[in-house]
Amino acid sequence: PDNPDLLYNIGVINMEQGNLQDARDAYKKTLAIDPGYINALLNLSTTYVNEGNGLIDEMNALGNSKADIAKYDELKEKKDSLFREGATVLEDALQSNPDNESILTQLKNIYGALGDNENFMRIKKLLGE
């Protein structure tokens, strides 16, 4: 219960099996023991992005009826909320890891997917792009 590497690996296995909430729980336990565990931070963020990406297929399958448009808007807000949650994990991680390229790259990708140009450009600048 106190081994961050084992807890992290439990998270990885759960994530690979699509058990995103169990993966999040394992990554959070890992981070409670070792707050600087970069891969746990990245994967915790990824669980939110993966869940959001899972909604995209459902969104794309909708038609043009009024009900479908309403459902699309609802799913889009949920997807964006999940992406923002993933970004929050990484923004918090940046406080203690301001130069970590993996964190910055993943954060840039999330902001790009959200269409958040201001933050996208801010992260690009931090990456030296």
Distance CA 29, CA 126 (A): 29
- Residues 25-77 have pLDDT tens digits of 999 999 999 999 999 999 999 999 999 999 998 999 999 999 999 999 999 99
Q: Which residues, other chains included, contact 64 with Cβ-Cβ below 8 Å and sequence gap of 6+? A: none
Q: Which residue has the tokens 């590497």?
A: 5
pLDDT band with cut points at 50, 70 and 90 for residue 20: very high
How high is the pLDDT of residue 1? 83
pLDDT at 118 over 90: yes
Mean predicted confidence (pLDDT) in 5-24: 96
How high is the pLDDT of residue 7? 97
Mean predicted confidence (pLDDT) in 3-23: 96
How high is the pLDDT of residue 59? 94
Q: DSSP readout, the chain?
A: ---HHHHHHHHHHHHHTT-HHHHHHHHHHHHHH-TT-HHHHHHHHHHHHHHHHHHHHHHHT--SSHHHHHHHHHHHHHHHHHHHHHHHHHHHHHHH-TT-HHHHHHHHHHHHHHT-HHHHHHHHHHTT-
How high is the pLDDT of residue 12? 97
Share of the chain above pLDDT 90, in %: 96
